[in-house]
């Protein structure tokens, strides 16, 4: 799976929690889950758990703290996949 | 400094399934999970604790300019209830916050402050008129002095709070 494919998987995970659909349609790596997509912070937990399941990785607390943007999420996924 | 968080409990039930495997481990400390499991109303306890963390985080974020998803580092302790309001403290490293919460059947309404005495200085604002944002943080100008404002909106509920002298 390359980065573009990983973005697509991530987008599918994020989509059900998005409140600002316009920002979702123009999503880039810099897009912020909370300030751009208006995702409820309680749903960030669901995104973390869904990412763990979809990529078969475990996201430690220190990584979760940084998971606020698409780019940060992709970087964490890549780091965790590389560690496997 | 002030932070607040309001939760529509009916909407929370629809939006989030805290009973999902692994969910609480990501956001609640061992002590907090024990409180939830022993609570008469675990649903209300989950969202009560979450509102404390959210309200305290708003102050932490303003004070430190640090952004992060850090629910596990915000520890809720020292719970008290005076028959009307719930009081607690939230610790985050060297930072500490005092909270006051009103819980009704469908709403959890929490205010956090950085100094205990400020709980007595909280005022509710009924409109966003005069509120401006600087670096994403809301404030209002009273007698040429910047006063911090905190806004929370969830489902059917919205609350805007500030501090007076």
What are the chain A neighbours of B20 within 8 Å (beta carbons)? 46, 49
pTM, two decimal places: 0.95
Among A41, A43, A66, beta carbon nearest to B54: A41
pLDDT confidence band for B137 (50 / 70 / 90): confident
- Is the pLDDT at B165 greater than 80? The verdict is no
Rounded mean pLDDT of A61-73? 97
Phi-psi region of A77 (alpha: psi -120 to 50; beta: other; left: phi over 0): alpha
How does residue B143 score in pLDDT terms, banded at 50, 70 and 90?
confident
What is the reported pLDDT for A81?
Answer: 95
Could you give all domains of chain B from N- to C-terminal order, each with its CATH number? 4-163 (3.90.470.20)
ipTM: 0.92
Q: Does B83 touch chain A (CB under 8 A)?
A: no
**Domain of residue A18, CATH code:** 1.10.1200.10
Q: Which range marks the domain in which residue A70 is found?
A: 3-83
Q: Decide if pLDDT at B129 tops 80.
A: yes
Distance from CA of B106 to the nearest CA of A (A): 17
Angle separating helix axes A70-83 and A41-55, nearest 10 degrees: 30
| B 28-57: CB under 8 A from A | 50, 54
User: What is d(CA B57, CA B3) in angstroms, rounded to the nearest whole number?
Assistant: 8
Nearest CB to A43; choose among B15, B73, B136: B15
Task: Count other Cβ atoms within 10 Å, centred on residue A56.
Answer: 9
């Amino acid at each position: 799976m390359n980065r573009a494919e990983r973005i697509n998987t991530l987008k599918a995970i994020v989509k059900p929690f998005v409140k600002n659909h316009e920002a979702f349609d123009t999503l880039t790596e810099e897009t912020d889950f909370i300030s751009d997509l208006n995702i409820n912070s309680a749903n960030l937990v669901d995104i973390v758990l869904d990412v763990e399941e979809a990529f078969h990785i475990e996201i430690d607390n220190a990584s979760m703290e940084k998971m606020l943007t698409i780019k940060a999420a992709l970087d964490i996924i890549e780091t965790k996949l590389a560690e496997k | 400094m002030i932070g607040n968080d309001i939760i529509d409990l009916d909407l929370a039930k629809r939006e989030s399934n805290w009973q999902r495997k692994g969910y609480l481990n990501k956001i609640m400390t061992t002590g907090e999970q024990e409180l939830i499991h022993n609570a008469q109303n675990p649903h209300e306890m989950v969202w009560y604790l979450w509102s404390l963390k959210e309200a305290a985080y708003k102050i932490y974020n303003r004070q430190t300019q640090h952004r992060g998803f850090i629910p596990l580092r915000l520890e809720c302790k020292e719970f008290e209830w005076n028959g009307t309001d719930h009081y607690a403290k939230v610790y985050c490293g060297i930072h500490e916050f005092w909270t006051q919460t009103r819980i009704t059947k469908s709403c959890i309404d929490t205010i956090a402050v950085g100094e205990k005495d400020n709980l007595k200085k909280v005022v509710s604002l009924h409109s966003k008129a005069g509120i401006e944002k600087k670096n994403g943080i809301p404030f209002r100008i009273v007698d040429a002095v910047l006063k911090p404002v905190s806004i929370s909106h969830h489902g059917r509920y919205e609350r805007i709070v500030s501090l007076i002298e």
